[in-house]
Amino acid sequence: MKAKVLRITTILVLCLLIFTGCSNNTATNTEDEKDFTIVTSFYPMYIFTVNVVKDIQNVKVENMTEPQTGCLHDYQLVPADLKTLEQADAFVINGAGMESFMEKVMEQRKDLNIIEASKGIELIKDENGEENAHVWVGISGAIKEVSNIADGLAALDPSNAEAYKKNAEEYIKLLEAQSEKMHKELAAFKNKDIVTFHEAFPYFAKEFGLNIVSVVEREPGTEPSAGELAELIDTIKKTNCKVLFAEPQYSQKAAESIAKQTGAKVYLLDPVVTGEKDASADSYIKAMDENLKVLVEAFQQNQ
């Protein structure tokens, strides 16, 4: 009888050990499940992508450049950037020529999955026929880019496709509401002539009916010559434009100098190209809401 009890006890202990071992293996497999890593090229792409991947497990988003980098027209890749891209399952870029370094990226990572957020968007061209890449600054462009990012991630990571698209739809509704709010408040103003300091605002201006009288610096940091500055001041005086928009990312000295000579007033308009390192998912909408407040203040004083 004792021998029989001993045999049963031994079998139960063995079963318990086997079951525990299986449970531990399952837990280990779950913990070791590989993250789907998304790298974004710069700040606005990071904000859009963070909204698309919201609350999805095992999906990680990392921004390649520092969030204060600004536009990437002349950005030079550094070794740390290429190291970041080594771990990427997908690389989200604005495209339209914004990331001038893409040829080098493709040389280093021929198999890298690229999601071009501006794909299929009709680009605005300047008087020289050069395409403008600042699509995200207009909210309509931002909406299309968010949709493109979601579609691209869904194709690369089918197991989370539904979640990507659901998150994108929710974020797009917020963007649409912000756009509607801005249209409603800006519609009351007839005179919407402005001068900007960078070619960042054509999409924004087109969307909200702003008239860009002139652009001071075609590229950030490239100050106009004395002749160009004199022509600009003459244009501002002739059009009687009193609203001059500088950007928070750059020095306002040149803007203040022009303002003194023309009687215009300097305001800050944010193209949402830079931000905080740990920026919240609603950063783009907050920036656009602040832009609305600035525009309303400027136009109220200059009607």
CB neighbourhood size of 24 (10 A): 10
Q: Do 103 and 146 fall within a single domain? A: yes
**Statement: residue 27 has pLDDT above 70:** no
Residue 225 class from Cβ within 10 Å (0-12 exposed, 13-18 middle, 19+ buried)?
exposed
Q: Do 221 and 250 fall within a single domain? A: yes
**Residue 194 belongs to what domain range?**
183-300
CATH of the domain at 196: 3.40.50.1980
Amino acid (one-letter) located at 128? N
Q: Do 132 and 236 fall within a single domain? A: no
CA distances from 83 to 87, 118, 197 (A): 7, 25, 34
Mean pLDDT calculated for residue range 280-302 = 95
Q: Do 168 and 211 fall within a single domain? A: no
151 occurs within a structural domain: yes
Closest CA to 84 of 101, 63, 98: 63
**pTM reported for the whole predicted model:** 0.86
Number of domains forming the structure of the chain:
2
Tens of pLDDT, residues 106-149: 999 999 999 999 999 999 998 889 999 999 999 999 999 999 99
| pLDDT (0 to 100) of residue 24 | 43
**Statement: residue 172 has pLDDT above 90:** yes
219 occurs within a structural domain: yes
| pLDDT (0 to 100) of residue 236 | 84
Strands of 211-215's sheet, edge to edge? Answer: 211-215, 193-196, 243-246, 265-268
Which of 178, 207, 226 corresponds to the end of one domain? 178
Which of 139, 159, 178 corresponds to the end of one domain? 178
Q: Do 81 and 194 fall within a single domain? A: no
144 occurs within a structural domain: yes
* Alpha-carbon radius of gyration of the chain: 26
**Statement: residue 77 has pLDDT above 50:** yes
Q: Do 127 and 56 fall within a single domain? A: yes
Q: Are 49 and 61 in contact (CB under 8 A)?
A: yes
Q: Do 51 and 150 fall within a single domain? A: yes
Question: Using 50, 70 and 90 to split pLDDT, how confident is the model at 59?
Answer: very high
